[in-house]
Amino acid sequence: MHPALTELPSSSGNRSWFHGVTRYQWVVLFVAWLGWVFDAMDATIYAIVLHPALHELLDHSDGAPTAERIGWYGGIIFSIFLIGWAIGGITFGILADRFGRTKVLMATIIIYAVFTGAAALSQDWWHLAIYRFLTALGIGGEWAAGAAIVAETWPEEKRAKAAGILQSAWAVGFFLAAGFNLVFKDTYGWRGLFLIGILPAFVALLVRWWVKEPDRWTHAHAQRVIPLSAIFEGELRRATLVGSALAFVAVFGLWGSTNWAPTLVHELPEFQGADSATLTKSVSYAIMALNAGAIFGYLGFGPLADRFGRRAVFAFMCVGSLIMLPVTYLVPSHYAGVLMLLPILGFFNNGIFSGFPIYLPELYPTRLRATGAGFCFNAGRILASISPFMTGWLVTALGSFGRAASTVALIYLLGLVILWFAPETKGRPLRD
């Protein structure tokens, strides 16, 4: 790592919000952001190729690959993926507090890249489920380490905006996955898309070369190691329960609804009997539309949270998601209508996630920051792992992905209740 990166401030206008941010702080944010970009890309590839992949893989099982069977087995794999994501997030969050943010960041990036590529070798649906579980271990761990290192490196008053930039990487990852789908899927098929997922392994080299352990962690690490049970002691118990419950609501709503958007496109009447090229383009454009709105949600959460508080913006996102999910999935009967509504849905349903790298690290002291943030975000994932499975069941029970996803939207009412008990962290410095 070059010392100049640590010492020199970035040249900017005297009154810009990033005035005083050092070049090294930008480097840390960029590397963590890039890791999260590919994190999102690898997570999204499955949602995009779900229909064609399971259509092929279920041919090896008894029965035809009908929409109901694809919904059923796709939901099972989604749920297994979320369980792996949660286990990885909790486990690697603990390891990041004990052994360092950068070591864990490198390891998790390599894990999710390698096993995304390995998914191309699947010969049956349960092969794919195993590879997605192993991929998810790395994806969950990367978030915990990346959020902690950005929070501990950036200035207190600019932390929320930095976290918003970090979360915007998720939308960029969606765009990348959709772009690769447009360019490569018709030529190389769904297996080729999984192979592209190996590319993020090179980001680990950037972490090794450019990023050092935050001073906050180095100083805290010299003290006594605190066990996981500490996040349930005293005032931290409330923070842990609230943080986990909020993550549960957000993950349940996202993975039970918007991540089925590619499959929803496949099921639109105008695409029945459409050729593979048409479906590929239509799914890709839908993903891009959703995440065009998501980018504004990710980047907007931080400034709104600095002005109105964390709780108020979480509530705003919950109300917007509660309204937009049934509107998006039930009102339009044509592809054009879906494309118009998806950006608005993405702003709320995806944008809410920008709050977690802001809010969760603020709830814990340095020695427990990655452990606590990783536990909350991923305990929520464990609880929400039933959501894709439930959506698959609701598809069978209600007869459409639209009705199923709209039913899932009711979870945001629970989010509004939880926020009554959430501590407000606006303006509060990180605890050492």
Q: What is the pLDDT of residues 104-118, one digit of tens each?
A: 888 888 888 889 889
Burial class (CB in 10 A: 0-12, 13-18, 19+), 72: middle
CA distances from 379 to 100, 129, 252, 294 (A): 21, 20, 12, 24
Most confident of 34-43, 188-197, 202-211: 188-197
The distance of Cα 23 from the centroid of its chain, to the nearest Å, equals 26
Is-contact 361 369, C-beta < 8 A? yes
Q: What is the pLDDT of residues 334-382, one digit of tens each?
A: 899 989 999 999 999 999 998 998 899 889 987 788 788 878 887 887 8
CA distances from 188 to 120, 182, 192, 286 (A): 11, 11, 5, 21
- H or E stretch at 187: helix 159-196
CATH number of 22-419, picked from 3.40.50.300, 1.10.3720.10, 1.20.1250.20, 3.90.550.40:
1.20.1250.20
Residue 132 to residue 149: CA distance in whole angstroms? 26
Q: How confident is the model at residue 61 (pLDDT cuts 50, 70, 90)?
A: low
Q: What is the pLDDT of residues 257-277, one digit of tens each?
A: 776 777 778 778 788 777 877
This prediction has a pTM of 0.73
Mean pLDDT of 48-77: 78
Residue 93 to residue 316: CA distance in whole angstroms? 29
Kindly write down the DSSP assignment for every residue of 332-368, as one continuous string. --SHHHHHHHHHHHHHHHTGGGGHHHHHHHHTS-GGG
Q: Nearest 5 degrees, angle CA 282-CA 33-CA 179?
A: 20
Q: How confident is the model at residue 10 (pLDDT cuts 50, 70, 90)?
A: very low
Q: How confident is the model at residue 6 (pLDDT cuts 50, 70, 90)?
A: very low
Is residue 1 over pLDDT 60?
A: no
Q: How confident is the model at residue 2 (pLDDT cuts 50, 70, 90)?
A: very low
Is residue 5 over pLDDT 60?
A: no
Q: What pLDDT is recorded for position 37?
A: 85
Orientation of helix 23-57 relative to helix 125-153, angle to 10°: 170
Mean pLDDT of 87-113: 84
Is residue 284 over pLDDT 70?
A: yes
Is residue 51 over pLDDT 50?
A: yes
The pair of three-digit structure tokens given for residue 180, joined into one six-digit string: 């690769």
Q: What pLDDT is recorded for position 11?
A: 45
